[in-house]
Structure 1
Amino acid sequence: MKNNSQSYLKEVQNQIRSKEAKEFVSAELDYHITEVQNEWIKKGLNEVEAEEKAVGQMGSPITLGQKLNKLYRPKVDWLTVILLVITLGLSFLPMLSLGNNFRDDSMNMKYYSTHKVIFILLGGIVAFGMMMIDYRKLEKRGWLFYTIGMLILFILTFFPTHFINGLPLVMIGPLTIESLMAIPFLFLAWATFFRDKRLRIWQLGVLFFLPYYFIFTLPSISTAYIYMAMVCIMFCWSQFSRKAIFSVLGVIISSFLIIGIIFWQSSAPYQKVRFLAFLNPEQYADTDGYMILHLKEIFSNAGWFGNSTATEFISEFHADLVFANLTSYFGWIFAIVLVFILSLFIARIVVIARKLHHPYGKLLLIGAVALYSVQLVTNIAMTLGFLPMISMSLPFMSYGLMPTLFNAFLIGVVLSVYRRKDLVASGFTNPVRVK
């Protein structure tokens, strides 16, 4: 383009505050001016005259820039932000019931409260940080994210420094690396892979099973479960045909049925007992079925308004079993309201995804809602006795740094996509014309 159009674009940019919006508007206007200029050239004008005509049709650069500044400025999804603040505030409620058990040991309660505040502050920082990152720039770094995720799993598999409940960990000072830490990187990687038309289905299969092998051999059943659900759900919304998707899902389901049979035959007796106890807890009431039966008793005694005088303490009441804790203390009415509030995140992400036309951004939202929903549904279902007991946090409510940061990261991705949802058009079809 000549200086005429470049000067016009620069004047428009001067009216726009957001750097991201400046780049977007400049590219779109340049594209449109070039199209109009070519039309005038076809009508017999020379290049200079055609450019002047095209620029003249755009109207005043100052007025146009001001209107585009309002139209394309980055937006904040305040509804999601408010939901996040409310949920993080509710996550302090388990401390009320735990306080009954820490009455004689104030240091434990002080430790719990202090760390909870730190976790929430860090979670807020992660969510805000991800919102400020332009998610569109992440699409080209899929292989980098995949490599980081694989590196985390490789280190945990071959160079663990600690074991907690049989799960390998790497502790570097205050930082604890666990298998769940690899999922955000793999999540970003798969959003890229499913947009890459050069990758064939068999190549995607290899990319899927490599991290799955490490996760499954760690072993971390909950992480393997989350990872598989995430990839399968994102695959259903990928560029492949419905026939290919159903065929692959059929192969995956068949493969895992076969793996499940093999695993059952080779599993240790205590592992078999744990599953059998889920099917028939009464028969294993003195061992693995005890907790299942005890949770049923807790829920049946909770009532609509709970029992704030209960002093019973279960080690996982602040973590994986926090839903049972809150239901017992505050009652079923509160439990229903809590599930409704947590489910609003899902509804909100789905609404945003339906209105979004950017394929990569939509895949990110689908992956985020899959990861969040799997945690929410699984935790409540296993606490109520509908699924076997595994290590699965209730989003934002369970105590722990990694679960808090993980879900804050997912919400941050959603906020990032929403913030730039108006900056993904492919060209002006009806440009603003200001006289």
Structure 2
Amino acid sequence: MQLKYEENIREFLKQVLSHIRAKEVHREVRMELESHLQDIIEEKLSKGIALNTAIQEAISQMGAPELIGAQFHKVHRPRTDWKLLALMAVFMLFGLLAVFAAQVSLSERIPFNQIGMKQVIYTIVGVALMLTISFANYQKLAKYSWTLYFGTLLLLLYAIMTGGRVNGLHSYLQIGVIALNFVSLSPYFILLSLAGIWSTSSKVKSNESFIRSMARKVWINFGIVILPSIIILKAHSIVDFVIFIVGCMVMLLVLKTKRSIFLAHISLLFGTILFVMLKETYLSYRIGRLTAFLNPNEDPLGTNYVLNQSKKAIESAGWWGHGFGASLNTLPEFHSTMMFPFLIYCFGWLAGILILMLVILFIFHSLQISKKVHDPYGKALISSLLALFVIQFIWPMLMSFGWAPLSSFSIPFISYQGAHGVFQFAAIGVILSVYRRKDIIPSISKSK
């Protein structure tokens, strides 16, 4: 019986669907209602009731279409994560306060320093991008995963070969007046692409030979990770390599990859790391930093100078600190990588505790979001981005006390990071987009 051709049923379904804003679930709702109507009509027909009468009674039995539509809309409506938005608002305000305090302190050494106004501009652009992405359908990005992957690799190579030299590294792309450290941005883009690739890689292609199937699996499981890893390491960016690899490992765990493949990833990647690093003269510099971390009391005026100055700033702060924009000429890069000890120096240990609490709330809430998402692609996106943020939040804090090796990690949304901060807001937008559609995408998947 083709119910969809019956005029009364078409009109009934149209009225129900008009009350459901999420058009993505219209097909599923239509199929569900048609199934219920089919069962009711067949039951009435078996009792000898005429078809037209059975249809009318079935529609009447279903209930008012506006009430049915409202119920479906309540279940499948897009969600806004107000808790995460509130956390981001606190981070933004704290970040602006921190950067303006750093500007006041830096003005004694660098006249006309305007990092505060730059932070305002980058924050406004970042928030606008975050909100725009949050309303977009993140699943549309999945079909461009391979394009995003290879495009990122090409830009990585271009940045390394032709980018501006900063601190001896070829990585900065000049776009107008903005210099982008694309190597530091590449983990975000590659992980976005891997989420789409890995969440669909289990699909077996028809008429594919065993050898081709194995070659494809090896490439998908290893090649697509090793290639960007080598390029990032060749750019001497250990920090970006670390967050990229951790993001990959977390994504594999979330997607419930086989243990053998997961272990193979780790062993093969570590082999690649050693091979690349042992051929680099830059290795001696990294070994020096690691040695300094393991021996914090040695060479206080050399390799351990920054660590010692960070500890002194924290110890001298007390509960209330030295005040807004207090001079701290002994600690370099306190507006970016060493913002955590600087904030404690200015506002006291209470400021450090507050930041720690905000970070814990962010991590806990992000984990809660991940548990509520059932779409594999969305889950992979959230888990990998969360891994990136956890490292970037925790490492600078541990580094300030000498509990982690010195690195170029900066606290997201609080430290001054220039244009890089805009992309971190965009990453939050992706998380918000996944959360917004968490009650829509699973329904679609079930209907297929």
TM-score when normalising by structure 2 = 0.84
Q: Which moved more, 1:254-263 or 1:62-71?
A: 254-263
Deviations 1:373-396 (A, max 9, x none): 011111112222122211111011
Distance, in Å, in 2 between the alignment partners of 1:29 and 1:49 is 24
Deviations 1:139-189 (A, max 9, x none): 222112212221221211222244344242110212323212222221211
In the alignment, residue 185 of structure 1 is paired with which amino acid? F
SS of 2:297's partner is: helix
> Which residue number corresponds to residue 24 of structure 2?
23
Q: 1:65 aligns with which of 66, 69, 94?
A: 69
Q: Does 1:394 align with 2:411?
A: yes
> Which residue number corresponds to residue 210 of structure 1?
227
Deviations 1:68-124 (A, max 9, x none): 33443322111111110111000022222541442586622xx22210110110111
Aligned-residue sequence identity (percent) comes to 26
**1:422/1:51 Cα in 2 relative to 1: closer, same or farther (>3 Å)?**
farther
8 Å CA contact retained: 2:13, 2:30: yes
Distance, in Å, in 1 between the alignment partners of 2:442 and 2:189 is 27
In the alignment, residue 33 of structure 2 is paired with which amino acid? I
Q: 2:117 aligns with which of 114, 121, 124?
A: 114
8 Å CA contact retained: 2:222, 2:265: no
> Which residue number corresponds to residue 432 of structure 1?
none
Distance, in Å, in 1 between the alignment partners of 2:336 and 2:351 is 18
Q: Does 1:173 align with 2:190?
A: no
Distance, in Å, in 1 between the alignment partners of 2:217 and 2:396 is 35
**1:215/1:427 Cα in 2 relative to 1: closer, same or farther (>3 Å)?**
closer
8 Å CA contact retained: 1:234, 1:366: yes
Distance, in Å, in 2 between the alignment partners of 1:231 and 1:289 is 32
Q: Does 1:288 align with 2:293?
A: no
Give the superposition deviation at 1:255.
2.3
Distance, in Å, in 1 between the alignment partners of 2:436 and 2:108 is 45
> Which residue number corresponds to residue 303 of structure 1?
318
SS of 2:174's partner is: strand
> Which residue number corresponds to residue 312 of structure 1?
328
Deviations 1:283-318 (A, max 9, x none): 323321221222222222222222228422233111
In the alignment, residue 132 of structure 1 is paired with which amino acid? F
Q: Does 1:188 align with 2:205?
A: no
Q: 1:326 aligns with which of 339, 343, 347?
A: 343
8 Å CA contact retained: 2:221, 2:265: no
Distance, in Å, in 1 between the alignment partners of 2:124 and 2:356 is 23
**1:427/1:291 Cα in 2 relative to 1: closer, same or farther (>3 Å)?**
closer
In the alignment, residue 79 of structure 2 is paired with which amino acid? K
Give the superposition deviation at 1:330.
1.1
Q: Does 1:132 align with 2:147?
A: no
Where do 1:143-292 residues align within 5 Å? 143-177=146-180, 178-196=182-200, 197-198=202-203, 200-241=217-258, 243-252=259-268, 254-255=270-271, 258-259=274-275, 262=278, 267=282, 269-292=284-307
8 Å CA contact retained: 1:83, 1:345: yes
Distance, in Å, in 2 between the alignment partners of 1:159 and 1:104 is 32
For structure 1, the 5+ residue unaligned runs are: 430-435
SS of 1:91's partner is: helix
8 Å CA contact retained: 1:126, 1:409: yes
**1:271/1:36 Cα in 2 relative to 1: closer, same or farther (>3 Å)?**
closer
Q: Does 1:99 align with 2:93?
A: no
In the alignment, residue 382 of structure 2 is paired with which amino acid? L
Q: How many residues align?
A: 421
Q: CA RMSD in A?
A: 2.9
**1:336/1:138 Cα in 2 relative to 1: closer, same or farther (>3 Å)?**
same
Q: Which moved more, 1:340-349 or 1:310-319?
A: 310-319
8 Å CA contact retained: 1:323, 1:335: yes
Distance, in Å, in 2 between the alignment partners of 1:105 and 1:221 is 30
Distance, in Å, in 2 between the alignment partners of 1:154 and 1:23 is 39
SS of 1:171's partner is: strand
Q: Which moved more, 1:47-56 or 1:408-417?
A: 47-56
Give the superposition deviation at 1:27.
1.1
Q: Which moved more, 1:418-427 or 1:132-141?
A: 418-427
Distance, in Å, in 2 between the alignment partners of 1:428 and 1:311 is 57
> Which residue number corresponds to residue 364 of structure 2?
347
For structure 2, the 5+ residue unaligned runs are: 204-215
